[in-house]
Amino acid sequence: MEGEATSIGPLDITRVMAAIPHRYPMLLVDRVVELIPDRSITAIKAVTINEGFFQGHFPGRPIMPGVLIVEALAQAAGILAVESLGLAGSGKLVYFMSIDGVKFRKPVEPGVLLTLEAEFVQKRARVCKFAGKARIDGDLAAECEFTAMIADPPKA
């Protein structure tokens, strides 16, 4: 098929950490299943009871905070952007600019593999728009659109 992109993946945690600067406890992508440059990414977050936020959200009924689900989607999209634009190892950062149309459909509990799907809606050199979906066993848990800016890291 003409214009068919070559898939990359799986990418292990070392390659994930080479693409984005996040580290424990804020690194929310454990591996990339598939990355199609300039198109989409499918990644995994293994949600475990050992996550610090489960101590207070909520005692007796642990649920992953929605803002962290959106952050996990954004991190997956950041990996997609960095890999698609050839910026891995450059130190460039991907910052949120906007988050739109967020809908939470199903609670994310400990013990699940959260599948993170993000695709480009629009791609420019410095600003990208994405559509993201988080799934549990194929069922939609959350969805949103978000825009991010690619920028130089702050000067030390």
CA torsion, ordered 49, 101, 40, 133, to nearest 10 deg: 30
SS3 category, 68: helix
Q: Write the CB contacts of 52 (distance below 8 Å, at least 6 apart in sequence).
A: 25
* Per-residue model confidence as pLDDT tens digits over 66-124: 999 999 999 999 999 999 998 888 888 899 999 999 999 999 999 999 999 999 999 98
Radius of gyration of the chain (CA): 15
Q: Which pLDDT does position 101 carry in this prediction? A: 98
Sketch out the chain's domains with CATH numbers: 13-151 (3.10.129.10)
Q: Is the pLDDT of residue 4 over 70?
A: no
Catalytic residues: 57
Residue-averaged pLDDT of the chain: 94
Lowest mean pLDDT among 10-14, 86-90, 141-145: 86-90
DSSP assignment letter at 71: H
User: pLDDT band at 1, cuts 50/70/90?
Assistant: very low
Residues in the chain: 156
